[in-house]
């Protein structure tokens, strides 16, 4: 499971650039005394973080996860299943699966006194271990989600709030701009109206003076040039 958890952390690190270290899982299994013929559990292969180009699409089994989980269930102390699988594999030439299973169980009983019930119990023990791996994985995913995605989500929420504040500030500035433009338009209209009235008034006075000037023009003494 440690290898699988390391993979989860590495993927999260690649995706978000930061991750939280998991607390090491206690994977110690209760020791048991297997039969002499049972092979000792072997350590599962290390599961490195996949490169971006080797990520398995969602919904497809990851061969590295499968290998890690298969290695984990080998920690079961119930060897009956191992004996059965060895004999079942040796009977590959038997085409009928039911007959092949029956022959393997019979051979297991004859050679090691193993019953079908013991094989079933050994499988159930492995399913129990597998369920434990799932629980540990789900816990690790939750921790990683909280540590990486959670912190990033908080930053996203903070940024969104800042954007909202900026939008409100922009709206206030836009409203102020509209008010100023309105005041400019009103001032410009007032100035233009006054200018028009002044021009009209100027024309009236200028016309009056021009008329008066024209009236006395005939009585003026010409000046020497």
Check: CB of residue 176 under 8 Å from CB of residue 41.
no
Q: In this structure, what token pair is assigned to residue 62? A: 């990851």
CA atoms within 13 A on the CB side of 34: 19
Integer-rounded Cα Rg, in Å, for the chain is 46
The tally of domains found in the chain comes to: 2
- C-alpha 142/C-alpha 137 separation (Å) is 9
Same domain? 144 vs 181:
no
Residue 225 lies inside a defined structural domain of this protein: no
CA-based nearest residue to 9, from 27, 30, 23, 29: 23
Looking at residue 147, its pLDDT comes to 81
Looking at residue 178, its pLDDT comes to 96
Same domain? 211 vs 147:
no
Same domain? 79 vs 41:
yes
Range of the structural domain that residue 148 is part of = 2-165
Same domain? 181 vs 76:
no
Which are the contacts of 137, defined by CB distance < 8 A and separation ≥ 6? 1, 4, 5, 8
SS3 content of the chain, % helix, strand, coil (to 5): 70, 0, 30
Residue 17 lies inside a defined structural domain of this protein: yes
Same domain? 143 vs 176:
no
Same domain? 58 vs 156:
yes
| DSSP state letter for 1 | -
Q: In this structure, what token pair is assigned to residue 130? A: 């597998």
Q: What is the pTM of this model?
A: 0.47
- C-alpha 10/C-alpha 7 separation (Å) is 5
Same domain? 189 vs 155:
no
Same domain? 146 vs 174:
no
Q: In this structure, what token pair is assigned to residue 33? A: 């005394």
Same domain? 182 vs 153:
no
Check: CB of residue 119 under 8 Å from CB of residue 80.
yes
Residue 116 lies inside a defined structural domain of this protein: yes
Same domain? 145 vs 208:
no
Burial class for 12, CB neighbours closer than 10 Å (0-12, 13-18, 19+): buried
CA-based nearest residue to 177, from 122, 169, 137: 169
Mean pLDDT, contiguous 10-residue spans, the chain (225 residues):
61 47 41 39 36 55 92 92 94 95 95 94 95 93 83 88 95 95 95 95 96 92 73
Same domain? 153 vs 53:
yes
């Amino acid at each position: 499971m440690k290898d699988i958890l390391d993979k989860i952390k590495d993927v999260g690190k690649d995706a978000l650039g930061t991750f939280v270290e998991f607390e090491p899982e206690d994977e110690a299994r209760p020791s048991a005394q297997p039969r002499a013929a049972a092979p000792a559990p072997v350590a599962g292969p290390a599961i490195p973080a996949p490169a971006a180009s080797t990520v398995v699409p969602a919904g497809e089994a990851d061969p590295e996860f499968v290998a890690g989980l298969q290695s984990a269930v080998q920690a079961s102390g119930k060897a009956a299943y191992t004996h059965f699988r060895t004999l079942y594999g040796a009977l590959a030439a038997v085409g009928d699966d039911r007959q092949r299973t029956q022959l393997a169980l019979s051979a297991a009983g004859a050679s090691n006194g193993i019953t079908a019930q013991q094989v079933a119990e050994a499988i159930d023990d492995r399913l129990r271990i597998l369920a434990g791996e799932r629980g540990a994985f789900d816990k690790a995913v939750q921790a990683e989600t909280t540590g990486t995605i959670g912190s990033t989500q908080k930053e996203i929420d903070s940024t969104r709030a800042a954007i909202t504040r900026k939008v409100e500030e922009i709206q206030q500035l836009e409203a102020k701009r509209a008010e100023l433009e309105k005041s400019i338009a009103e001032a410009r209209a007032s100035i233009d109206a006054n200018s028009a009235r002044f021009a009209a008034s100027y024309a009236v006075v200028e016309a009056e003076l021009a008329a008066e000037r024209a009236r006395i023009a005939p009585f003026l003494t010409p000046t020497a040039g």
